[in-house]
Structure 1
Amino acid sequence: MNREVLLIEPNYKNKYPPMGIMKISTYYKMIGDHVTFFKGDLNELVLRDTFERLKKQLYANDDSIFWEKYHEPICLYLKKGSTKYLSEIPQVESNALIKELFKYYRKYFFHKYYFKPEFRKYDIVGITTLFTFYWDITIDTINFAKKLCKSPDGVMVGGVMASILPERVEKVTGIRPHVGTLHIPGELDKNNNLIIDSLPLDYSILEEIDYKYPASDAYFAYMTRGCINKCAFCAVPKLEPNYQDFLPVSEQVKLAENKYGQKRNLLLLDNNVLASQRYNEIIDDIKAAGFYKGATYVAPNQYEIAIKNLHEGQNDAGYIKSCVKQFKMLLKKEKSKQKAQELYDLLRDFHLLDEYTATKKNIFQTYDIFKPYFKKMYKNKPKKRYVDFNQGIDSRLITDENMEKLAEIPVRPVRIAFDHWELHDIYEQAIRTAVRHGHVDLSNYILYNFEDKPIELYWLLKMNVDLCEELNASIYSFPMKYHPIEDPKYFSNRDYIGKYWNRKFIRTIQAILNSTKGKVGRGKEFFYKAFGKDEEEFYKLLYMPEAMIIYRLYFEKLGMTSRWWEDFKTLTESEKQIAKPIIEKNIFTNIESLTDNNNVLHVLQYYQINRKSVEEKIKQL
């Protein structure tokens, strides 16, 4: 008998889909199991499963009624228990057996019978994990999901957080996580020698969920694993301890293209691709995958892809949902009101406006009618394709030779790691080498709050701004706050403060980055405004009240920013020795209890400005 497999990503926000889960889905489908992927409120999952159980019983008692049509009121009744939701459902009052079924399944849902061993649906439950600061939501997800599995042996936990903190995860969940990647034969089933980590991704499971990953129009892959460096701040050596220097991607891209349609970009999550002895082969394989210099693609007809996969029986739930989404999109895009109404009426008559009422049969029956509309809707122009080594490349390994080879593929941006100021000479040379070979769209990750001083972040950012102007290049910097993910005090939060940092300095940087969406681009004028035209101004910003940073123009027009600075500067040295530690703690709720110095208290009042009240005033203006 085929197994029921539930794969879950906790309901946190993240940019990229879970590659491990997508490979595991491919594995279980290859051996004939039924896979469900879920990301969202787990109460909605069990509500959905409860509805399916009830629906089966309802059809067994009366198959003349289209029970899916009443999905919404049935689910409201299951959740809330009010009989008012049953008033529009046929047979409830006239058929005592059906009425009892509703009562029973309301009790089933309310008392969480789905956790009882005899009612558990899934043979296998797999939960992925990501960052340690998602600890609470991830642990809650594991502890909920494990009770949906028929056997404790069928529960799997893996991913980044689980690999870094396996003992702590096991302690609070009772589940021993899998550490690292699934690269050994037989890791999921002892009698099966497939290597999970080498399998293609099942992109179809992304159609099953409502969550939209920001980076969705791309193939995701690794062409190497691990890293030759052992940086103190990095978890890669623990996650991928062995360096693998070539994992071909072209065949996986072709398989994915045939099943799921072309995707625009290729996003590679390699941690140190330049360390590979087979680097030239990697670039050649990327070109073979269709990502050569000047390559373009035309966005595929997603309706035709859904129809094709429904005919082949690949993830019916996902592609029925996809069709319903596209039908609604078509109605929005139809310019003729009369034609839109005709299409709406047709979709309503065939019950194709809701994923719970839509069926493969009705989708196929209306295919010839809708085909020309979607052909017109998906008449797209060619777009350039890009490759992104998203984790960055090592500035210490950049040479003329590998940058010349890299120019054979459409990389944008070229991300170069810039982890600390001691590397600035090497980094600068790496940038110049990259630009010399035509790589003028650049990006880099800058680590702060580790063993660095705040001024070093300023130097790093300013160097990039200066290089942009000199080389006529574009360098976007992404400052990344260091977080000790294995420290028991900090692994589940973002509270860590580095040796030379404090809470106020961290908040200042975050406030500036919030306004720039986390990145710092080219342009000296903008940089000087955001971070200061010199070191003295940067230090001034570090101590500036947060509201004055976020609503810079508003407070400058009021003249309040200059008044704060004058009042701050007029403090005596001894008064500054009182004020600065208070400001650095960044807690201003009860300043009178912190000092009795009137000059210091006057300055501290600026830090009590309420952001919400400022927002309201700005809205009024």
Structure 2
Amino acid sequence: MAGRKILLIEPNYKNKYPPIGLMKIATYHRNLGDEVRFFKGDLRDLVITEITKLLLDKLKDIDKNFSWENEYKNLYEYVKTGKGVIKYELLKHSESKALIERWLDYYKDEYRKKRYLNKPFWDRVYITTLFTFYWKITVETILFAKSLVNQNEDVFIGGILASLLPDKIEDATGIRPHVGLLDKPGILDSNDYVVDSLPLDYSILEEIDYKYPERDAYYGYMTRGCIRKCEFCAVPKLEPNFNSFISLDKYISGIRNDFGEKRNLLLLDNNVLASKDFPKIIDEIKKIGFEKDSMYVEPNSLDIAIENLKKGANDYAYVNVAFERFQYLLSRLKGEKQQWFYDLLDERKLLLRHTASKKEVLNIYPEVRELYEKYRNRIPKKRYVDFNQGVDARLLNEHNMELLSQIPIKPLRIAFDSMKYEKVYVKAIHLAAKHGIRHLSNYILYNEKDKPEELYQRLEINVLLSEELDLKIHSFPMKYHPIGVLDGIEWFKNRDYLGEYWNRKFIRSIQTILNATKGKIGVGKSFFYEAFGSDLKEFRELLYMPELYILHRLFFRELGYTSKWRDSFNSFKGTELIDLKEVIESNVFNNINGYSKNIKLKTFIDEYYLLSRDDIKDPKSKYYILKKKYDESKVK
């Protein structure tokens, strides 16, 4: 069974955190002696890359007198496009033109005629899944991945989406996903490994171009599951049993030894305060290097890469790291030293990633080790602990808040999902301030059972608490969306769900406001009241306001358009107002002539709600001209 070729895939969506499940599976297969590759991106690029490697090896065998590695980009483009002009340039480099041309066309057809489907590159493929709103790209990834192995049984699917909607995944792809955790032996193969308990293989993150925003951290769990059974939450399905303590001590030590020190500690516990072992958890966090005010110095990543190359841990990844570190050093050097180093890299074919080799990286290391150590970043930085899933305000008290204050927690995330938790939430914030925790954050759920006014109220509470207690509380409004099938509708395939008190216009108005704030509501009353209205009345008005008036708030207000809209809107009374609100709430304005006989209503909609963003961008539009003059006046 050893020696298999394993491909790990994360679909090509944007996300902050690396795929922890795949990092554990990488460790599992390396322990078995398998060859592991991680990929995130366009899978067609992966196929082209593999075919180009085969072509490159073939050309090197045919003509050893030419450095074909230097033509890697052209070879890649020819496999991808089959353009004759590229082939013509490539044939100039060899006397064996007929043989070279034959193999160029052979491998070009491997891709373009999809002959690779008959001889897959990998023995097994694993695909992780994340949120249900990534349904389309996830299914497309799985369907493509089926072409990369011999049979469907060689495709393994897991993760959040797969565990929540296994039947739907199977219907769409023909593959039954794994549900839940890999927390028992023998799930993947007949052996005693428990994959979920294995350390993470951080090296796979160096194999891809995508850089996760939160990559310099230890990731883990110190508890599993949750004691709550909230209707909107997927945790009871994903982690049905509550485990009150999971030690990280040996786990962190292993990561340090293999991959170097990480700056932060990101814990994914779903309800850590529910653990009877919470004091023990805090003690261990401090023990592993995360006491209050603890500092971090970035380790020598070139040394780490060399040690792992010597061990043969992940040659592809660590040649990448060494190449990046050489580029960094080259950018830091000046004058004669820079020229010397450039010439050295050129001589060893280390100036380009596709010509860089493990052999030359190891050969050059003794010559540059001290130089890199001199110029690398050694500036101390503060460390942080983040219970990323948040803590339960209902379980916070003097004792556990005092324990939290002993570690460098930033931010402290406290859930505020409903106004019915206002008192307990406000008490929790006061406790945090009392114990010196000044950076807080939370997701503010809306579009579930709440009314729009409750979103405003919760955001305002945070703003006022920030000022009163001199805190920095950042709120992230998060639209509720069912994760499965509700009332016969497959909500995982679209994002159109509306809560009882919400409508399409209200949702769009909130999204437009958040677009301007980049999804985050920070401290400062003036900022909040400008974005969401100075009171509930103004907030309600914003919900009905034309989208462009919200997006370009100051422009339309200062030129008098907003007050004109307001006066016109307030002129509607009784049933006319009811009809008008019904039209606005639908957020569909281009077919009103088909169902309304009210001339006043039609005129109002035509004047204010048929404006689009193109009207601001079109040089022929009066709004474009006015906006340009307005912007110029603000610069002067």
Q: Which residue of 2 is the match for residue 411 of structure 1?
A: 409
Measured in 2, the distance between the counterparts of 1:21 and 1:216 equals 14
1:121-160 alignment runs, 5 A limit: 121-160=121-160
The letter of the residue matching 2:180 is: G
Q: Which residue of 1 is the match for residue 507 of structure 2?
A: 506
Q: Which residue of 2 is the match for residue 112 of structure 1?
A: 114
Q: Which residue of 2 is the match for residue 238 of structure 1?
A: 237
Q: Which piece of structure 1 moves more, 336-345 or 521-530? A: 336-345
Q: Within the alignment, does 1:397 sit opposite 2:377 as a pair?
A: no
TM superposition shift of 1:341: 4.4
Partner SS state of residue 244, structure 1: coil
The letter of the residue matching 1:256 is: I
> 1:429-467 CA deviation, whole Å, 9 max, x = no partner?
222222222222111221110011111111111111222
Q: Which residue of 2 is the match for residue 347 of structure 1?
A: 345
Partner SS state of residue 474, structure 2: strand
Partner SS state of residue 484, structure 1: coil
Q: Which piece of structure 1 moves more, 575-584 or 6-15? A: 575-584
**Structure 2: gaps spanning 5 or more residues:** 619-623
1:35-50 alignment runs, 5 A limit: 35-50=36-51
Q: Which residue of 2 is the match for residue 319 of structure 1?
A: 318
Q: Within the alignment, does 1:431 sit opposite 2:429 as a pair?
A: yes
Measured in 1, the distance between the counterparts of 2:525 and 2:253 equals 44
Partner SS state of residue 18, structure 2: coil
The letter of the residue matching 1:309 is: N
The letter of the residue matching 1:74 is: L
- Which residue of the other structure, out of 460, 463, 480, is the alignment partner of 2:461? 463
TM normalised by structure 2 equals 0.93
> 1:521-571 CA deviation, whole Å, 9 max, x = no partner?
222111111111211111011111111212112222222112111111122
Q: Within the alignment, does 1:328 sit opposite 2:302 as a pair?
A: no
> 1:332-359 CA deviation, whole Å, 9 max, x = no partner?
444x366544433432332212221101
TM superposition shift of 1:168: 0.8
Measured in 1, the distance between the counterparts of 2:39 and 2:431 equals 45
Q: Which residue of 2 is the match for residue 99 of structure 1?
A: 101
Measured in 2, the distance between the counterparts of 1:305 and 1:66 equals 30
Contact 1:331 1:343 in 2 (8 A): yes
Q: Which residue of 1 is the match for residue 534 of structure 2?
A: 533
1:182-331 alignment runs, 5 A limit: 182-190=182-190, 192-331=191-330
Measured in 1, the distance between the counterparts of 2:398 and 2:189 equals 47
Q: Which piece of structure 1 moves more, 104-113 or 20-29? A: 104-113
Q: Which piece of structure 1 moves more, 429-438 or 373-382? A: 373-382
Measured in 2, the distance between the counterparts of 1:226 and 1:142 equals 28
Measured in 2, the distance between the counterparts of 1:521 and 1:5 equals 44
> 1:141-166 CA deviation, whole Å, 9 max, x = no partner?
00111221133322100000000000
Q: Which piece of structure 1 moves more, 136-145 or 348-357? A: 348-357
Contact 1:8 1:128 in 2 (8 A): yes
Query: Are residues 468 and 359 of structure 1, via their aligned partners in 2, closer, same or farther at CA, if it must alter by over 3 Å?
Result: same
Measured in 2, the distance between the counterparts of 1:103 and 1:473 equals 65
Superposed CA RMSD in Å reads 1.8
Q: Which piece of structure 1 moves more, 158-167 or 526-535? A: 526-535
Q: Which residue of 2 is the match for residue 441 of structure 1?
A: 439
Contact 1:86 1:92 in 2 (8 A): no
The letter of the residue matching 1:379 is: N
Q: Percent identity?
A: 51
Q: Within the alignment, does 1:3 sit opposite 2:4 as a pair?
A: yes
> 1:55-74 CA deviation, whole Å, 9 max, x = no partner?
33333433443322211111
TM normalised by structure 1 equals 0.96
TM superposition shift of 1:95: 4.1
Q: Which residue of 1 is the match for residue 610 of structure 2?
A: 608
Q: Which residue of 2 is the match for residue 554 of structure 1?
A: 555
Measured in 2, the distance between the counterparts of 1:370 and 1:551 equals 54
Query: Are residues 409 and 46 of structure 1, via their aligned partners in 2, closer, same or farther at CA, if it must alter by over 3 Å?
Result: same
Measured in 2, the distance between the counterparts of 1:365 and 1:520 equals 52
Contact 2:63 2:94 in 1 (8 A): no
Q: Which piece of structure 1 moves more, 469-478 or 402-411? A: 469-478
Measured in 2, the distance between the counterparts of 1:135 and 1:42 equals 17
Measured in 1, the distance between the counterparts of 2:418 and 2:335 equals 59
Q: Which piece of structure 1 moves more, 169-178 or 546-555? A: 546-555
Query: Are residues 612 and 347 of structure 1, via their aligned partners in 2, closer, same or farther at CA, if it must alter by over 3 Å?
Result: farther
Partner SS state of residue 609, structure 2: helix
Q: Which residue of 2 is the match for residue 164 of structure 1?
A: 164
Partner SS state of residue 289, structure 2: coil
Measured in 2, the distance between the counterparts of 1:83 and 1:368 equals 44
Q: Which piece of structure 1 moves more, 425-434 or 345-354? A: 345-354
Contact 1:251 1:289 in 2 (8 A): no
Measured in 2, the distance between the counterparts of 1:353 and 1:492 equals 46
Measured in 2, the distance between the counterparts of 1:554 and 1:204 equals 50
Query: Are residues 337 and 602 of structure 1, via their aligned partners in 2, closer, same or farther at CA, if it must alter by over 3 Å?
Result: farther
Partner SS state of residue 228, structure 2: coil
Contact 1:220 1:267 in 2 (8 A): yes
Query: Are residues 333 and 508 of structure 1, via their aligned partners in 2, closer, same or farther at CA, if it must alter by over 3 Å?
Result: farther
Number of equivalences: 617
1:50-129 alignment runs, 5 A limit: 50-89=51-90, 94-116=96-118, 119-129=119-129
TM superposition shift of 1:205: 0.2
TM superposition shift of 1:29: 0.5
Q: Which residue of 1 is the match for residue 621 of structure 2?
A: none
Contact 2:592 2:602 in 1 (8 A): yes
> 1:82-113 CA deviation, whole Å, 9 max, x = no partner?
23212333566634333211111111111111
Partner SS state of residue 353, structure 2: coil
Q: Which piece of structure 1 moves more, 192-201 or 363-372? A: 363-372
